[in-house]
């Protein structure tokens, strides 16, 4: 059951990040962006704010925010390598 919640929340976070960054991704890529973005957020942002991510089993508002910020950072890095411009 945890894997199902993890996939759903990863998809929602990836979708929100793609809406904020104004990119068009598919559902599978949204899930990947959400999960990998949560890893990035856990590595970069989590030590600063003291909140866990969805990958660490935290479904609090702070955990979702850290995961979303990680996904946004991931999309910004991908846009830099694609040659697109970052739209923060």
Q: Which domain holds residue 18?
A: 2-82
Residue 88, domain member (yes or no): no
pLDDT at site 88: 54
Phi-psi region of 60 (alpha: psi -120 to 50; beta: other; left: phi over 0): beta
Q: Token pair 């935290």 is at which residue?
A: 58
**pLDDT higher than 80, residue 84:** no
Residue 51, domain member (yes or no): yes
Rounded Cα distance between 10 and 76, Å, is 17
Higher pLDDT, 27 or 25: 27
Which of helix, strand or coil describes residue 86?
coil
| Tens-place pLDDT, residues 31-77 | 899 889 888 888 888 888 888 777 777 678 888 888 899 999 999 98
Rounded Cα distance between 80 and 68, Å, is 18
Residue 20, domain member (yes or no): yes
User: pLDDT band for position 24 (50/70/90)?
Assistant: confident
Residue 87, domain member (yes or no): no
**pLDDT higher than 80, residue 11:** yes
Rounded Cα distance between 57 and 61, Å, is 12
Counting the structural domains of the chain, the total is 1
């Amino acid at each position: 059951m945890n894997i199902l919640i993890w996939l759903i929340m990863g998809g929602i976070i990836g979708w929100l990040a793609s809406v904020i960054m104004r990119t068009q991704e598919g559902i599978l890529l949204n899930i990947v962006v959400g999960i990998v973005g949560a890893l990035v957020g856990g590595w970069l942002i989590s030590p600063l704010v003291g909140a866990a991510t969805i990958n660490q089993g935290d479904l609090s508002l702070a955990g979702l925010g850290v995961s979303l910020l990680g996904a946004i950072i991931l999309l910004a890095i991908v846009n830099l390598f694609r040659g697109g411009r970052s739209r923060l």
